[in-house]
């Protein structure tokens, strides 16, 4: 693929994965609370979950949900409950400098939690549907084309979402007092709760 042909895909991937959304809000919060290294499993989970979802969309998962909309409704409601739980934990977390033990109240997203969450993230669904409908080659083996396209998408996504985790890590260095941490945690908790609201309105 020439650069001229690949440029629209690159621009799409950077725009969709580099802008705020449920994934990046969570990565920012976890980066601040736990650092980049402990947030890395969640980053990898997001990438693997995205590749899996995008490939399944190309193979017809979207059609299954159209036929059985209750499945998607249940998945969306489960994600809302999970996000609201995390929003409460993040928003009420005590400053880590004051009591490091309390960091355990907001454990970092695990690989599997992040991967499964991609199936309930409306932004990732929009991303996947647009990706496969706009960029999937019309010739060749469908499954190989779908996997290849999904891998390219997530390879571009890796530095974009890593930026948000790193951004959280940098912010943590500026939070010098108990008041700073409580404000930051409250803001991130509200942002996480807002993501749950977007899912309900989707």
Mean pLDDT by 10 residues, the chain (202 residues): 68 80 85 89 96 89 67 70 74 60 64 91 80 77 87 94 89 74 75 67 58
pLDDT for position 96: 57
Contacts 24+ apart (CB under 8 A), 85-92: 86/26, 86/192, 87/189, 87/190, 87/192, 87/193, 87/196, 88/189, 89/189, 90/29, 90/33, 90/185, 90/188, 90/189, 90/192, 91/185, 91/186, 91/188, 91/189, 91/190, 91/192, 91/193, 92/185, 92/189
pLDDT for position 50: 94
Domain ranges of the chain: 36-201
pLDDT for position 99: 46
Distance between start and end Cα atoms, the chain: 35
**19 sits in which H/E element:** none
pLDDT for position 107: 76
155: tokens are: 């390879």
* pTM of the model as a whole: 0.73
pLDDT for position 98: 47
């Amino acid at each position: 693929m020439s650069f001229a042909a690949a440029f629209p895909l690159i621009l799409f991937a950077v725009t969709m994965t580099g802008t705020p959304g449920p994934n990046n809000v969570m990565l920012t919060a976890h980066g601040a609370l736990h650092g980049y290294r402990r947030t890395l499993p969640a980053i990898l989970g997001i990438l693997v979950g995205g590749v899996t979802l995008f490939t399944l969309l190309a193979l017809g998962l979207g059609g299954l949900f159209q036929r059985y909309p209750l499945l998607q409704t249940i998945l969306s409601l489960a994600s809302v409950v999970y996000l609201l739980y995390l929003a409460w934990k993040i928003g009420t977390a005590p400053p880590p400098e004051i009591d490091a033990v309390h960091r355990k109240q907001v454990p970092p997203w695990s690989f599997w939690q992040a991967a499964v969450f991609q199936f309930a993230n409306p932004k990732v669904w929009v991303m996947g549907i647009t990706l496969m409908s706009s960029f999937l080659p019309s010739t060749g083996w469908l499954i190989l084309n779908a996997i290849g396209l999904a891998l390219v998408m997530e390879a571009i996504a890796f530095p974009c979402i890593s930026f948000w985790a790193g951004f959280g890590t940098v912010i943590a260095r500026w939070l010098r007092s108990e008041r700073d941490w409580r404000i930051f945690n409250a803001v991130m908790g509200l942002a996480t709760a807002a993501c749950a609201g977007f899912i309900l309105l989707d």
